[in-house]
């Protein structure tokens, strides 16, 4: 199964899951603070064909919570089923296709938030291009153009098909890196 077809089918599964969840919580109009637990129960077996290895329910809950936070912070306007499909495949490991994202960190030396992110990159042994916004002014301008501000750290993620995402907030970047790459590095 190609990665594109996998994402399409997985997005369909997420749509179905959302509908089933809404049906189950019809009395509260879908409101359910513990939705990741419900989703994980529904998805656990249904996800098997999409993933490289079996998953535990707790790992799935963790991945769903991280994906939801990340969606809200980085791409709130992106359609959620497709977004979830891509992230869940990255987070839990697709059945095929190695990860091909390229990462670049916009940062500067003395920034404490950047230091935390650089620490995690070092721990995970990731290949991330470092773009120091004070050593190279063009990087600062790129950041301003993309985000309307130059606050760092910001992770720039370029996927295999050339799509670019900009992820601000050190806590979100750290969680994303740990969830996405922690398993492979463990």
Binding residues for ligand GSH, rule: CB under 6 A, are: 111-113, 149-153, 169-171
Nearest distance from C-beta of residue 110 to ligand GSH, angstroms: 8
Nearest distance from C-beta of residue 156 to ligand GSH, angstroms: 14
* Whole-Å CA distances, 1 to 97, 107, 144: 9, 38, 39
Strand segments, DSSP code E, in 90-150 are: 102-107, 128-132
Nearest distance from C-beta of residue 93 to ligand GSH, angstroms: 28
Nearer to ligand GSH, 142 or 169 (CB): 169
> Rounded to 5 degrees, what angle do the CA atoms 24, 25, 28 make?
160
Dist. CA 9–CA 30, nearest whole Å = 23
Nearer to ligand GSH, 76 or 98 (CB): 76
Dist. CA 156–CA 124, nearest whole Å = 17
- The DSSP bridge partners found for residue 157 are 103, 165
Nearer to ligand GSH, 37 or 73 (CB): 73
Nearest distance from C-beta of residue 118 to ligand GSH, angstroms: 12
Nearest distance from C-beta of residue 133 to ligand GSH, angstroms: 8
Q: What is the DSSP letter of 28?
A: G
Question: What region, left, alpha or beta, does residue 138 occupy, with left being phi > 0 and alpha being psi -120 to 50 degrees?
Answer: alpha
Nearer to ligand GSH, 40 or 157 (CB): 157
Dist. CA 124–CA 21, nearest whole Å = 36
Residue showing tokens 């290949």: 127
Nearest distance from C-beta of residue 126 to ligand GSH, angstroms: 18
Nearer to ligand GSH, 15 or 147 (CB): 147
CB 19 within 8 A of CB 89: no
Nearer to ligand GSH, 111 or 126 (CB): 111
């Amino acid at each position: 199964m190609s990665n594109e077809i996998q994402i399409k089918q997985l997005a369909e599964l997420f749509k179905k899951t959302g509908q089933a969840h809404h049906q189950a919580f019809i009395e509260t109009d879908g409101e359910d603070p513990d939705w990741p637990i419900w989703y994980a129960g529904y998805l656990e077996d249904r996800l098997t064909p999409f993933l490289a290895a079996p998953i535990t329910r707790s790992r799935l809950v963790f991945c769903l919570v991280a994906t939801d936070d990340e969606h809200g912070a980085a791409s709130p306007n992106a359609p959620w089923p497709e977004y979830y499909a891509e992230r869940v495949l990255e987070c839990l490991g697709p059945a095929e296709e190695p990860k091909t994202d390229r990462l670049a960190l916009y940062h500067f030396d003395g920034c404490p938030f950047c230091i935390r992110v650089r620490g995690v990159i070092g721990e995970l042994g990731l290949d991330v291009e470092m773009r120091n916004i004070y050593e190279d002014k063009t990087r600062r301008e790129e950041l301003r153009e993309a985000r309307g501000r130059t606050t760092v750290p910001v992770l720039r993620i370029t996927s295999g098909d050339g799509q670019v995402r900009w992820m601000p907030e050190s806590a979100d970047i750290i969680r994303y890196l740990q969830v996405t790459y922690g398993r492979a590095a463990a």
